[in-house]
Amino acid sequence: MEIAMKDRREHTPLELDVFVPVQMPEEFVAWAMEYLDANSTKPISETDIYAMFQAVGVVMMAGATFPGTREQAYKFAYASYCNTMEAICRQRGYDKHPHRHLRPANDE
């Protein structure tokens, strides 16, 4: 006979407004640093790499796939994200994304 035990552990409330850093894969960080070094004249920051990680994650979670190496998949996903954002901005009447000057940036 099984006896159902009541869970008496303390549960802390979920904090939705707290930033929880994500451990990014080392190969992604290496790819992002190489990509930014080749495509930008500005210093590379952790914030830039994390933003790229989020962008690539959004595309991959949406189901976009690319056969090839991980680096090729990252490049494809990031390009897809950038192209989509560019199209949305054009649709809204911008020449480029309003924050594009922040990174990655060789627009001039």
Can you give the pLDDT of all 108 residues of the chain as single tens digits? 455 555 555 555 545 444 556 788 889 999 999 988 888 878 888 888 888 898 998 888 888 777 788 888 899 999 888 888 888 888 888 776 655 544 444 444
The pTM for the full model equals 0.64
Question: Which residues does 23 contact at the CB level (< 8 Å), separation at least 6?
Answer: none
Q: Say what the pLDDT of residue 50 is.
A: 87
Tokens of 38: 């080749």
Q: Say what the pLDDT of residue 60 is.
A: 86
